[in-house]
Amino acid sequence: MTVPKAAGNLDPVALENSLIRTWNEEKIFYQSIENRRLKDSPFTFLEGPPTANGKPGIHHVISRLYKDMVCRWKTMEGHIVERKAGWDTHGLPVEIEVQKQLDLMSNEAIENFGMEAFNQKCKESVWTYEQAWREMTERMGFWVDMDDPYVTLHDDYIESAWWSLKQMFDKGLLFRGHKVLPYCPQTGTSYSSHEVAQGYKEVSEPAVFVKFKLKDSNSCILAWTTTPWTLPGNVGLAVGPKVTYCRVKITAEPSNSWEGRGGAELGDELILAKDLLGNVLRHKMEVLEEFPGSKLIGKSYEPLFPGAIDGSDSNAWTVVGADFVTTSDGTGVVHTAVMYGEDDYNLGMKEGFPSQHTVGMDGKFIKGTHDMLDGRYVKECDSDIIDLLNSCGKLYREHIYTHDYPHCWRTDHPLLYYAMDSWFVKMTAVKEQIIQYNSEVEWAPEWTGTKRMGEWLSNIKDWAISRERYWGTPIPVWICNECDNEHCVGSIEEMISMKTDDSPIPPELHRPYVDDVKLNCSNDDCSGEMIREPYVMDCWFDSGCASFAQWHYPFENKEKFEGVFPVDYICEAVDQTRGWFYSLLAVSTTVFDNVAYKRCLSLGHILDKDGKKMSKSRGNVVNPWDHFNKEGSDAIRWYMMTQSAPWTPTNFDPNGVRESYAKMFLTLWNVHRFYSDYASLDNFDPEEKDSYVDIKERSHLDKWILSRMTTVAENYHENFISWNFHKAGRELENFVINDLSNWYVRRSRRRLWNEDESNDKRSCQHTLHEVLLTVCRLMAPVSPFIPDQIHRDLTGHSVHLADWPVGSNLVERNLPPQNWVLEQEMALVRKLAETGRRVRVEAGRRQRLPCKSGWIVGGPDISDFHEILAEELNVEELTTEEDLDRFQRIEIAPNRKSLGKKCRQDLPAVLELLENADPDNILLEIEAEICILEGYDITMEDIELRRVEKENFAAATISFEEIGDVSLVLDMSLNEDLVSKGLARDIIRHVQAKRKEKNLDVEALIELDVWIDSKEQLFDNDWSHIQIETRAGNASINQGDIPKKIEYFEVDGIGVNFSVKEIN
RNA sequence: GGGCGUGUAGCUUAGUUUGGCUGGAGCACCCCGCUGAUAACGGGGAGGCCACAGGUUCAAAUCCUGUCAUGCCCA
């Protein structure tokens, strides 16, 4: 026997904390997986690993919610849903954090400190907030196995990553090249765009127009640059093939004053884009010819700094075409120094320019560049370079240029764009496959896949996976110091078997230990030693390996992995499109020739209440504990789901969390309390077969709420499938608040107050029991706490072990029958109740004063609900009526505009006649066109017809698409009987308020004394009714002297005094 | 600078795919009512240049173009 437990007041924080303990004790998470084991239908989820070196904020709660929700939902549908936690532990942000802590602001400083000690600090740092993350995760109810997580710094994980890199290497997808990065020579480090973004500064520095002398003519091509230090490295000039260029001849000295160095001789010939002549040239000139850029392509010119670069066997110092050339600034000719700009580098590779540095890693010119420059820091040479050019007539003009330029956030020095050695994965080689696999993923929202990711993939570039850093997965590539043979290691075993005898076995797969491992050259003919490339991997590569590396595949768990790959579901915020979503897809495409995930939900960000993003520096990060400890996790989770579509950015509104709590959870809890308190009082056992009331036997109201439940549950499920969780939640919330609480429970209150056993009472109890269980099961994936408590109170079992009520291919459907007609009729009834209240307000009839009669005109037969409606509207007798004319008459209003034109000065007289005439008669006359007043023909144009309620009636009409018009008419007449009843209701109301004010128990008896101006206005049976309703054990109605300090009120002009005392 | 989102009442939002009734809710506010009905409920009110500017159309919050703001990613 499971009699529902009485519910107390709702304390969400205490309830949730206590449930967390219960879950742990009963191992509910474990059970919820194991219980479905027999059905043998896994649904696989992959957790995107967070980094625990920052405090979790409210924005982390939302992605964990959507992960958890889908997993719980699929579990209830009968799937086995295992959830392994993960931690992302490598990467630049970790290093930066430690560098800040230890004040190690350059690579040199780190190396002096010691790589081993530094990496040890990094390793510690990534766990700084692990406890905070664990606590947040548990408190919000995110079920994930945190005791056996995958960790990207573990040797097992790294070994799997190595294995996957070797697969790429073996397929020829791994190669060595250059990547141009913002680089600080002071700290010896290159920067990510994230770091660059925090260091932009506005600077004013010299920019120059430089003359490049063509070999086959006397003309010079004019090019512009803001970085004079890159000029010694110039190996090419880029022009736009379709841009129009001019050859011009200098014909006169400049008319206005000349700024800075540079100049031109009369007769000099210069070539530049036509559109920019006016911007660039200061001399008077004559245009000799115009031609497209394509005419310039292939021409050779003289190097500015002969000898700085070895141009032999290359295409150096020629003009080439490039799409990126525009005429928005400069001269329409782009100076190209291969190693000092990304466009430059890409163009250089394409055109076969030499890729040689003129600048060392220390930021100084390499020996042999130029006598005046060798060994000097490049940014200090700008002016000397300009002098050098000027002295040999290669400078046309200099000017000061103001722009934003990235600076090192540590040293404040300007960064140099510098081509660094780097390893790449040749993504361009698998472009078609990855686009195909992307299209096979079910994306939510769809545009994340087709547009955001699709756009990115259609411009896919090779993936630079190496970083010149210390803390990360070491690149497992060794190079022979004799024969340059490259070897990629795919396992620990392979490394150890190849290592030289005097190399140590590394204690873990991190720098500096693996750096010390040297391998015997894998080339049979070579006896050289192989040295590891000194890089670590992009940490996105780490997390991109999660699907297999979490299982240490292929070294362990082979079967397990093959059964769960590709995973069914992943979910992260939208910024992961080019992050984790991409790296997973890139790795699975190159290694497995497959997708990595079948469904991907991309979430919008949570912003602060002003629509700004939450960030530490702004100080607007909301601490989730502010709400965990106030409204509780359920309310936060429900708020997040119902607030907006998952992919829409949402402004976080603390007030909204409160609202979710107050509306959804308090209401639900009070429905639960209303049912359970009475059920436990009555010892009601929902499972007892003898007292069960079949749904067919129950009242219309019961059948209605059960039908609504099914309709809502089905919509809820459909919305879940189409990722419209917000719509699902809103509809269910509306059901709980409006249908269940505000109508079903309100209308059923008296059924449960009844102390006698009855079929009707049991029907109501069964109905509430069934509806509450279904609501709890639907809500459980979203808000796992309060629904579980209610479910436990009602059944003794956890909701998380229950099945999804809508059913699935694994579990049975468990929903009551639907009755569409009944739902329609009830909608009409509720609409009529609303209408009736409005009619009363408009007619000035207070709610407690009953009406004698009410009539419903039109619409379907709803006489089954007349009793409910009569009570709602406080009408003694409600009937159906066919004829609206019984309550309405026609009124004729003059159309003054039309009559005024016709009658002019006789208008007042006509108006008077119209007003005094019998409207029915005169209307007949007008319609028959025989109406003449004061000699004027009155037509339909001259009047307006109105239907108004006859004396003592009030009415309103509502329109429905399916049913047509339905009118409600109320009888507004009064008699002594009604006044007495109204008076009684008011006395009851005041006494009840007093009882509540005195905090009396609902069951408590009172002694009631009442004084009324004229006693006979309250009929005896109404007085009896008052005594019953207020549980008055003793009651007297008095006249004469009224004691002082007693309650008094007045209604309809009758004064009432009363006193309430508790009888002990 | 490029790609992709977002912008509707003081706040949070529905409606935009597929153009069509007076742009619909909730919170907060004001008035009234109801309540042994909870932090509740009902009726009414006030509050909208649907970001802005053009265009297409009989008709635009909705489609097109541009601008602005804001967010993410890339440069």
Amino acid at A407: H
- Catalytic site includes residue A566: no
Task: Report which of residues A320 and A1050 the model is more confident about.
Answer: A320
pLDDT at A957 over 70: yes
Whole-number Å distance, CA A831 to C1' B42?
Answer: 12
Flag whether pLDDT at A901 surpasses 80. no
Per-residue confidence (pLDDT) for residue A140, from 0 to 100: 94
User: Which nt has its C1' nearest the CA of A447?
Assistant: B4
Q: Is A682 among the residues known to form the active site? A: no
Q: Reduced to 3 DSSP states, what percent helix, strand and coil does chain A have, rounded to the nearest 5?
A: 45, 20, 35
CB A137 within 8 A of CB A144: yes
Are A388 and A370 contacting, i.e. CB atoms less than 8 angstroms apart? Answer: yes
Nearest nucleotide relative to A649: CA against C1': B6
- pLDDT over 70 at A741, yes or no: yes
- DSSP H or E segment with residue A971: strand A964-971
In this complex, the nucleotide whose C1' atom is nearest to the CA atom of residue A671 is: B38
Q: How far apart are CA A365 and CA A371, in angstroms?
A: 10
Q: Is A155 a catalytic residue?
A: no
Please tell me the class of the A201-406 domain. Answer: alpha beta
Q: How many Å from the CA of A652 to C1' of B70?
A: 15
Q: Looking at A4, A23, A68, A88, which residue is catalytic?
A: A88
From the CA of A603 to the C1' of B2: give the distance in Å.
Answer: 23
From the candidates A215, A609, A616, A950, which is the catalytic residue? Answer: A616
Q: Residue A27 — pLDDT band, cuts 50, 70, 90?
A: very high
From A99, A186, A550, A576, the catalytic residue: A576
pLDDT at residue A838, rounded to an integer: 79
Q: How confident is the model at residue A13 (pLDDT cuts 50, 70, 90)?
A: very high
pLDDT of residue A939 exceeding 60, the answer is yes
Distance A139 CA to B20 C1' (A): 50
pLDDT reading at A192 higher than 70? no
Annotated domain spans of chain A: 201-406, 476-534, 640-818, 825-886+953-971, 888-949, 976-1062
Question: Closest nucleotide to residue A651 (Cα to C1')?
Answer: B12
pLDDT digits (tens, 9 = 90+) for A250-306: 988 886 677 788 888 888 999 998 888 887 888 888 999 999 888 999 999 999 988
Per-residue pLDDT of A690-730, as tens digits, reads 889 999 999 889 999 999 999 999 989 988 998 889 888 98
Instruction: Decide if A216 is catalytic.
Output: no
The nt closest to A830 (CA vs C1′) is: B42
Most confident of A42-46, A228-232, A731-735: A42-46
| Average pLDDT score, chain A | 86
Q: Which of A399-403, A636-640, A670-674, A987-991 has the lowest mean pLDDT?
A: A399-403
Asked whether residue A354 carries a pLDDT value surpassing 80, the answer given is yes
Which of A554-558, A743-747, A1028-1032 is the least confident region?
A1028-1032
Using C1' positions and the CA of A658, the closest nucleotide is B39
pLDDT category at A343 given cuts 50, 70, 90 is: confident
Categorize the per-residue pLDDT at A750 as very low, low, confident or very high, splitting at 50, 70 and 90.
Answer: confident
Indicate the pLDDT class of residue A551, thresholds 50, 70 and 90: very high
Tell whether the model's pLDDT for residue A195 goes beyond 70. no
Give the 3-state secondary structure of residue A480.
strand
CATH architecture of A640-818: Orthogonal Bundle (1.10)
Nucleotides of B under 7 A from a protein CB: 3-6, 11-14, 26-27, 32-44, 70-75
Of A648, A766, A660, A773, give the one whose Cα is nearest residue A709.
Answer: A773
| pLDDT band per the 50, 70, 90 thresholds, residue A947 | low
Among A224, A580, A638, A723, the active-site one is A580
pLDDT category, A197, cuts 50, 70, 90? low
A613 as an active site residue: the answer is: yes
- Is A616 tagged catalytic? yes
C1'-nearest nucleotide to the CA of A574: B72
Contact, A970 vs A875, CB < 8 A? Answer: yes
Question: What is the DSSP secondary structure assignment for residue A590, as one 8-state letter?
Answer: I
- Picking from A128, A132, A41, the residue whose alpha carbon sits closest to that of residue A82 is A41
Calculate the angstrom distance between C1' of B58 and CA of A962.
29
For the stretch A139-183, pLDDT in tens is: 999 999 999 999 999 999 999 999 999 999 999 999 998 888 888
User: Does the pLDDT at position A1003 exceed 80?
Assistant: no
Q: Residues A1019-1038: pLDDT tens digits?
A: 888 888 888 888 888 888 87
Cis amide bond preceding A445, omega within 30: yes
Mean predicted confidence (pLDDT) in A305-332: 83
| Per-residue model confidence (pLDDT) at position A24 | 96
Confidence (pLDDT) at A301: 93
Angle formed by the axes of helices A700-721 and A759-779, nearest 10°: 10
Written as one string, the DSSP assignment of A262-324 is ----TT-EEEEEGGGHHHH--SEEEEEEEEEGGGTTT-BB--SSTTSS--TTS--SEEEE-TT
Digit-coded pLDDT (tens) for A62-81? 889 999 999 999 999 999 99
pLDDT of residue A113: 94
pLDDT score of A191 more than 90: no
A312 has a pLDDT exceeding 70:
yes
Q: CA–C1' span, A959 to B58, in Å?
A: 28
Identify the band that residue A766 occupies on the pLDDT scale cut at 50, 70 and 90.
very high
Among A63-72, A322-331, A854-863, A889-898, top mean pLDDT goes to A63-72
At A460-499, the pLDDT tens digits run 888 888 888 899 999 999 999 999 999 999 999 999 999 9
- What's the CA–C1' distance between A455 and B12, in Å? 33
pLDDT digits (tens, 9 = 90+) for A791-834: 999 999 999 999 999 999 999 999 999 998 888 888 888 888 88
pLDDT computed for residue A561 by the predictor: 92
Is-catalytic flag, A414? Answer: no
CA of A891 to C1' of B16 (A): 45
pLDDT of residue A194: 56
Q: Which residue places its CA closest to the C1' of nucleotide B69? A: A611
Q: What is the pLDDT of residue A14?
A: 92
Cis link prior to A512 (omega < 30° from 0)? yes
Other beta carbons within 10 angstroms of residue A958's beta carbon come to: 17
Nearest nucleotide (C1') to alpha carbon of A990: B35
Q: How far is the CA of A611 from the C1' of B23 (A)?
A: 24
Beta bridge partners of A968: A856, A956
What's the whole-number mean pLDDT along residues A657-685?
A: 88
Among A87, A133, A162, A540, the one annotated catalytic: A540
Q: How far is the CA of A915 from the C1' of B33 (A)?
A: 36
Q: CA of A777 and C1' of B37: distance in angstroms?
A: 26
pLDDT tier, A240 (very low <50, low <70, confident <90, very high otherwise): confident
The active-site residue, picked from A4, A42, A49, A850, is: A49
Query: Backbone dihedral region of A397: left (phi > 0), alpha (psi from -120 to 50 degrees) or beta?
Result: beta
Its ipTM equals 0.88
Cα angle: A800, vertex A805, A806; to 5 degrees = 130
Q: Across residues A543-549, what is the average pLDDT?
A: 94
pLDDT computed for residue A946 by the predictor: 65
Name A24's Cβ contacts closer than 8 Å, sequence gap at least 6: none
Q: Which of A336-340, A623-627, A749-753 has the lowest mean pLDDT?
A: A749-753
